[in-house]
């Protein structure tokens, strides 16, 4: 066995490398890249990106050598003038302190209190639907998760003012998403129309969050929301976060914490519309456990199939379809030596569609995630929330939210596809449907919305 293995390379165009092909259809391009082996070097113009596609290599990057890898410069650059240094983009000591300060706000016992809010907003959205109506499922799921994150972050209802804020956030995310997709970008201090728009949106949002902080500091109210927890968070030496840092983290949580779950639910309904047996099993579980009463936190242990459906959706349609790192020192992963500065990319999309870990990978089959079957899947072949110390801090929040919304909707509605409707997953910052997700809603029976 050689000490160090050769890494195959996809060179593409002599000047631009694979940029054009990657941008044209990133998901298909990455699938093609996996045919070169478990690690392949992709030439993005002058930059090499090492694309890895094996659970052991993923483990080596995210866990064994976690401290030798930092978030990539593209991610840092894209967020810097939006949310500064924050939990998502920072590294080393700064990141460690933020993670320690923020972790308690995301513990199961802290977020359990949000379950009723999650069900409230799912039920409120359902009231807009009727039998045989066409529903924009992606827009509907985004409304529900945006209402939930706004309420759980700031204990505020989504009224006209917060709706405008939500729109500003959404627009901001769109622009940052465009930035993350670019290897080369204009400096952010240049007054391009995009940069000016970003700064206008950021100023507005920061002023709004500062208003919430001022109110809270003045009233000393503990409303039990995320803002209260971040305001109370203290280090071992009794120091907390500055207002500026809290604002940056709130912007980050809003950005990371609602679209991802909205698109998970969107694709779950898409898959269920195409798999009636799975839907039936989900409805049986929901009917047996809940009947026509509303779901609560205490029901979740009795709704295992809803968890299996969400996990299977995350496998086949992972919202975070890829993420990247840069090696801060020379490092060995598996039998491969990477130089200092090497960029590494991994993809929950390709890992989740690999027949080595998931036989008949294109079938939507939640049974893969029954306790017995899940135990046979290599841990780092299922990475929708990343892994290691940088694993998604909101993963329990997201799973609870997705399951409660799924179960609540499944009590009252099912969806079918329109015969002529076509949509497919494409990559933006998060994975989303190319053509939206217009499905036909059907009331199950006359179950009153309680």
Using the minimum distance from each CB to ligand HEM, give the nearer residue, 7 or 229: 229
Q: Which residue has the tokens 């309680």?
A: 450
Look up residue 403 and give its two tokens.
């399951």
Which residue pairs, CB below 8 angstroms and at least 24 apart, start in 375-381? 378/55, 378/56, 379/55, 379/59, 380/55, 380/56, 380/58, 380/59, 380/62, 380/63, 380/351, 381/55, 381/351, 381/352, 381/354, 381/357
Q: Does 154 bind ligand HEM (CB under 6 A)?
A: no
Q: Which DSSP state fits 8?
A: -
Q: Does 384 bind ligand HEM (CB under 6 A)?
A: yes
Q: Does 390 bind ligand HEM (CB under 6 A)?
A: yes
Torsion-angle region of residue 238: left (phi > 0), alpha (psi -120 to 50) or beta?
left
Helix axes 193-219, 243-257, angle to 10 degrees: 120
Q: How far is CA 117 from the centre of its chain?
A: 20
Using the minimum distance from each CB to ligand HEM, give the nearer residue, 58 or 289: 58
Of 184-192, 210-218, 252-260, 280-288: span binding ligand HEM (CB under 6 A): 252-260
Closest Cα partner for 268 from 148, 381, 404, 396? 404
Using the minimum distance from each CB to ligand HEM, give the nearer residue, 252 or 266: 252
Q: Does 166 bind ligand HEM (CB under 6 A)?
A: no
Cβ–Cβ < 8 Å for 275, 335: no
Strands 39-44 and 69-71: unpaired
Using the minimum distance from each CB to ligand HEM, give the nearer residue, 114 or 305: 114
Q: Does 423 bind ligand HEM (CB under 6 A)?
A: no
Closest Cα partner for 39 from 49, 29, 26, 47? 49
Torsion-angle region of residue 12: left (phi > 0), alpha (psi -120 to 50) or beta?
left
Using the minimum distance from each CB to ligand HEM, give the nearer residue, 21 or 60: 60
Closest Cα partner for 368 from 415, 286, 319, 313? 313
Q: Does 87 bind ligand HEM (CB under 6 A)?
A: yes
Rounded to whole angstroms, the Cα distance separating 396 from 401 reads: 8
Q: Does 352 bind ligand HEM (CB under 6 A)?
A: no
Burial class of residue 403, CB neighbours in 10 A (0-12, 13-18, 19+)? buried
Q: Shortest Cβ distance from residue 362 to ligand HEM (Å)?
A: 20
Quick one: which of 146, 271, 316, 320 contacts ligand HEM (CB under 6 A)? 320
Using the minimum distance from each CB to ligand HEM, give the nearer residue, 55 or 257: 257
List the interface residues with ligand HEM, window 262-281 (CB under 6 A). 264
Q: Does 261 bind ligand HEM (CB under 6 A)?
A: yes
# residues contacting ligand HEM (CB under 6 A): 22
Q: Shortest Cβ distance from residue 442 to ligand HEM (Å)?
A: 26
Q: Shortest Cβ distance from residue 1 to ligand HEM (Å)?
A: 30
How many Cβ atoms are within 10 Å of 132's Cβ, its own excluded? Answer: 10
Closest Cα partner for 399 from 359, 369, 442? 369
Q: Does 252 bind ligand HEM (CB under 6 A)?
A: yes
Q: Does 304 bind ligand HEM (CB under 6 A)?
A: no
Quick one: which of 55, 352, 394, 425 contacts ligand HEM (CB under 6 A)? 394
Rounded to whole angstroms, the Cα distance separating 20 from 27 reads: 13
Q: Shortest Cβ distance from residue 397 to ligand HEM (Å)?
A: 4
Dihedral pair phi/psi, residue 338, rounded to 5°: -110, 135
Q: Shortest Cβ distance from residue 394 to ligand HEM (Å)?
A: 2
Quick one: which of 52, 253, 300, 345 contacts ligand HEM (CB under 6 A)? 253
Of 41-49, 294-302, 357-365, 384-392: span binding ligand HEM (CB under 6 A): 384-392
Q: Does 117 bind ligand HEM (CB under 6 A)?
A: no
Q: Shortest Cβ distance from residue 347 to ligand HEM (Å)?
A: 10
Using the minimum distance from each CB to ligand HEM, give the nearer residue, 251 or 278: 251
- CA distance from start to end of the chain: 65
Q: Give 327's strand partners.
A: 69
Q: Shortest Cβ distance from residue 45 to ligand HEM (Å)?
A: 22
Quick one: which of 201, 393, 404, 437 contacts ligand HEM (CB under 6 A)? 393
Quick one: which of 386, 421, 428, 442 contacts ligand HEM (CB under 6 A)? 386
Q: Does 397 bind ligand HEM (CB under 6 A)?
A: yes
Using the minimum distance from each CB to ligand HEM, give the nearer residue, 297 or 440: 297
Give contact residues for ligand HEM (rule: CB under 6 A).
87-88, 99, 252-253, 256-257, 260-261, 264, 319-320, 323, 384-386, 390, 392-394, 397-398
């Amino acid at each position: 066995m050689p000490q160090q293995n050769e890494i195959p390379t996809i060179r593409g165009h002599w000047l631009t490398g694979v940029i054009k092909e990657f941008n044209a259809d990133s998901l298909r391009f990455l699938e093609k890249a996996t045919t070169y082996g478990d690690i392949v070097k992709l030439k993005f113009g002058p930059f090499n990106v090492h694309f890895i596609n094996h659970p052991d290599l993923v483990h080596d990057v995210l866990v064994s050598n976690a401290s030798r890898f930092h978030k990539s410069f593209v991610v840092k650059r894209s967020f810097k003038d939006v949310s500064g240094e924050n939990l998502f983009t920072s590294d080393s000591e700064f990141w460690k302190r933020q993670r320690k300060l923020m972790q308690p706000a995301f513990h199961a016992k802290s977020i359990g209190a949000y379950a009723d809010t999650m069900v409230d907003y799912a039920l409120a959205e359902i009231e807009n639907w009727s039998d045989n109506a066409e529903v924009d499922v992606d827009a509907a799921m985004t409304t529900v998760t945006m209402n939930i994150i706004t309420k759980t972050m700031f204990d505020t209802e989504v009224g006209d003012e917060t709706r405008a804020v939500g729109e500003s956030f959404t627009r901001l995310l769109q622009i940052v998403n465009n930035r993350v997709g670019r290897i080369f970008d204009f400096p952010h201090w240049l007054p391009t129309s995009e940069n000016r728009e970003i700064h206008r949106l950021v100023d507005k949002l920061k002023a709004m969050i500062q208003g919430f902080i001022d109110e809270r500091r003045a009233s000393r109210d503990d409303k039990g929301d995320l803002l209260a927890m971040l305001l109370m968070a203290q280090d071992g030496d009794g120091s907390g976060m500055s207002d500026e840092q809290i604002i940056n983290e709130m912007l980050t949580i809003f950005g990371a914490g609602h679209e991802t779950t909205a698109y998970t639910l969107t694709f779950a309904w898409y898959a269920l519309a195409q798999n009636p047996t799975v839907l039936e099993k989900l409805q049986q579980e929901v009917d047996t456990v809940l009947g026509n009463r509303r779901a609560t936190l205490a029901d979740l242990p009795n709704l295992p199939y809803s968890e299996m459906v969400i996990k299977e959706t995350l496998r086949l349609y992972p919202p975070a379809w890829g993420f990247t790192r840069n090696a801060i020192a020379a490092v060995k992963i598996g039998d491969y030596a990477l130089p200092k500065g090497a960029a590494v990319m991994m993809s929950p999309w390709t890992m989740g569609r690999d027949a080595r870990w998931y036989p008949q990978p294109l079938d939507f089959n939640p049974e893969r995630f029954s306790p017995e079957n899940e135990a046979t899947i290599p841990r780092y072949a299922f990475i929708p929330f990343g892994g290691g110390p940088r694993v998604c801090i909101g993963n329990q929040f997201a799973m609870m939210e997705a399951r409660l919304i799924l179960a609540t909707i499944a009590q009252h509605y099912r969806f079918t596809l329109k015969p002529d409707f076509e949509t497919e997953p494409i990559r933006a910052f998060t994975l989303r449907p190319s053509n939206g997700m217009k499905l036909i809603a059907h009331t199950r029976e006359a179950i009153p919305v309680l």
